[in-house]
Structure 1
């Protein structure tokens, strides 16, 4: 029997294609109570919330996902029968730094609940990392710290957003810690940290509330890139993997349900 050889990169690509194709079921009409929300249902949930009186003007949606029905409803569901569709949302009011949770009835097009969750913060959003970079680089104290280290081209510095950790209780709000790295013309700036300079940023007010500078530590002059140009000849590539399923896959994929031997379960890709 002739066995086809497949390189590891090819295997990874095939796995990615598998999950991308599987994820296409996310955009099909739900046929089971545990099917994830599709794009139109997410849009509907957001529209229902935005129509609510006194809904905050400037918000970020941290989460809009299926609010799973009670387990008994899922177990007793019969194909073709109507089932509930509810969305669970986490909403951040950026102006007031408040976090809300909501349940939305998608079939009835109404809000089931809307409540503030005190003293919590939702996950950091992609745009907030960009906000942090802009806020830190505009701060006069940070600029002075860079100049003290001989760095005047601020576009060659990367400011990375990290969890704030433990800080003085006087600092409150939606806080992030900004760490600085010298990227120069390289790619891997993590290998060239600018030691001793730490900014604490209030993302709600858009200001650096504290900047620590513990003194100048020389920045590595050598690039920490991993390209062949940076480190020289690369190691030999590994030998090909051999993967074969002459009788096909052992599992069956039905929408978001995976059936394999005595198991059957449903998955969601967020």
Structure 2
């Protein structure tokens, strides 16, 4: 496409969208006659060009900037999926969304905010609260994504609502679940279609504020720690491009995926073209008629990066910090800035390598260091941090941190074995946090093959007379039909992404290995609705051939989707994967059986994965680390 009148200040095809581009996109949509008084912008994000166009781009070449816009008409519930060329000033794609077949658009804040007034006028809800001695004005109505269960709801924007009592402004509602009652609300019509009062359980009475008298904190006397870098940080940031210790990448940010790392390379050699957390689901294990439907896709249903925290020095990050603001669109299509949304800093990481030799008097120690880029988001009761770490030995790590407040219920006793009692009469249902990392690999180029690598026992016999031998087995994943895999800790299973066209000095193909944490994948029954809707989470790894349209593992429109969207459809063409442009989709996460120690605020729990070089370098890439300059280290002399 020839561009004669660029209307963008973007300096790269993957430059983050600007306030001017958001405003221009809104104007284009309005000029096209697609906005009504009841229209809302659910999502506005950069529509990234095809990878070949990005890799073939040279500075100074005109850039066409396109934004994807999801519009909801609140009066009708109808959704539209648009592509807007900011450069050309035109809507270049306009598709109506079939809510029955494709699912609903994500849920708006404005829709959540409408729930309490709707239920306050519903006699059934008011009566259920009064039956328990509660004033409806003191009950927080918590709207939650409905899933896909009842045919009469298909095509209607629906949420399910649980109640939590709040006695005063300081009271923590999560401490007082009004269990037994659930409301189903059609948010387009603004009415409750049903209020079910299944059973009457006592509302837990103990208050839950972290600093309240019910939870006295034992003093922990700790003296301050100060992290200083007298000569400043070792990284540089220019136009969202970060360079540190041989690493280079471009920072991206999206309302749905949050932090994105683009074109990650080390020593000028590509490793990952694009890395993000493309989906997460939180399936609950309680089969109670009140809450069997609790399965939240915090990315696809709620666009979790909309709730990104503004980070604070000394609280969220320590040391010499560089902050990035995040720019999103609000529900009226106007630019919205989240200050200090992304934190970039360095951390000491202990001994990187060390040896004291008996023969040549070598006594050397080098300390490791890592670069940290992170953001935190709050989704209702939970807070999630996502931390990408880059190490001096070429390792890449993603760590997800889960904290906040566990979702609560009334505790029904040991005869209901799906929750833990965490305070008197207060339960916390069992659940999982399952994430999908989308890793668009580019190990020294775009032609990669994924091998499954298992440790293998060798039977005692010829060639192994003493039975001590073991080896490894590399199995190439040659087609998409073969590449939906499960982790297996009993054989130390990893997956190597190898480039056979590039070799190290020993003639071995260069590669990077994905090391999983070997936690359970989705535990719900194969016949369940959540199994169909979160099919990505039933496998530890999927490998697909690159397709720019395949961005989300559970599909584009997850809210109330009937199931089998995303990865099951991506692999239907059974594309070849040998020496191909491959994308890894890795499921990782936590299976959470809550403890009393998780209340009233949960200590941070951790999950993630690691990418380690395997033959990518000719030798230890951390040999060049400088000696410590600390006056306490004898080797500095």
Secondary structure in structure 2 of the residue aligned to 1:150 = coil
Aligned to 1:219: 203
Aligned to 1:17: none
Conservation of the 8 A alpha-carbon contact between 1:228 and 1:234: no
More strand by share: 2
Give, in whole Å, the separation in 1 of the partners of 2:239 and 2:218: 42
Tell me if 1:165 matches 2:147: yes
Conservation of the 8 A alpha-carbon contact between 1:199 and 1:208: yes
Tell me if 1:127 matches 2:107: no
Q: Deviations over 1:114-162 (max 9, x none)?
A: 00121221211111111112212221100010111111x3221111111
CA drift of 1:78 comes to 3.0
* Structure 1 range deviating more: 119-128 or 139-148: 119-128
CA drift of 1:189 comes to 0.7
CA drift of 1:33 comes to 1.6
Gaps of 5+ in 1: 1-27
Tell me if 1:115 matches 2:95: yes
Q: Deviations over 1:194-222 (max 9, x none)?
A: 01110000001000001110122111222
CA RMSD between the two structures: 2.1
Secondary structure in structure 1 of the residue aligned to 2:253 = coil
CA drift of 1:74 comes to 2.3
Give, in whole Å, the separation in 1 of the partners of 2:65 and 2:229: 39
Aligned to 2:138: 156
Q: Deviations over 1:143-192 (max 9, x none)?
A: 010111111x3221111111113543223400001100011124311111
Give, in whole Å, the separation in 1 of the partners of 2:217 and 2:63: 60
Give, in whole Å, the separation in 1 of the partners of 2:140 and 2:44: 31
TM-score (ref. length: structure 2): 0.36
Give, in whole Å, the separation in 2 of the partners of 1:195 and 1:215: 8
Give, in whole Å, the separation in 2 of the partners of 1:163 and 1:70: 33
Query: How is 1:46-125 mapped onto 2 (pairs within 5 angstroms)?
Result: 46-53=26-33, 55-119=35-99, 120-125=103-108
Over 3 Å counting, the alpha-carbon distance change for 1:194 and 1:254 in structure 2 is same
Secondary structure in structure 2 of the residue aligned to 1:101 = strand
Over 3 Å counting, the alpha-carbon distance change for 1:230 and 1:255 in structure 2 is farther
Number of residue pairs matched by the alignment? 242
Secondary structure in structure 2 of the residue aligned to 1:134 = helix
* Structure 1 range deviating more: 184-193 or 52-61: 52-61
CA drift of 1:234 comes to 4.5
Structure with the larger RCO, 1 or 2 (CA within 8 Å, 6+ apart): 1
Secondary structure in structure 1 of the residue aligned to 2:162 = strand
Over 3 Å counting, the alpha-carbon distance change for 1:253 and 1:192 in structure 2 is same
Aligned to 1:4: none
Conservation of the 8 A alpha-carbon contact between 1:99 and 1:121: yes
The one of 137, 156, 177 aligned to 1:193: 177
Query: How is 1:190-269 mapped onto 2 (pairs within 5 angstroms)?
Result: 190-236=174-220, 238-269=222-253
More helix by share: 1
Give, in whole Å, the separation in 2 of the partners of 1:133 and 1:163: 15
TM-score (ref. length: structure 1): 0.82
Gaps of 5+ in 2: 1-7, 255-637
Give, in whole Å, the separation in 2 of the partners of 1:202 and 1:145: 19
Aligned to 1:39: 19
Over 3 Å counting, the alpha-carbon distance change for 1:255 and 1:261 in structure 2 is same
CA drift of 1:40 comes to 1.5
Conservation of the 8 A alpha-carbon contact between 2:142 and 2:161: yes
Secondary structure in structure 2 of the residue aligned to 1:268 = strand
Give, in whole Å, the separation in 2 of the partners of 1:70 and 1:263: 24
Give, in whole Å, the separation in 2 of the partners of 1:175 and 1:238: 49
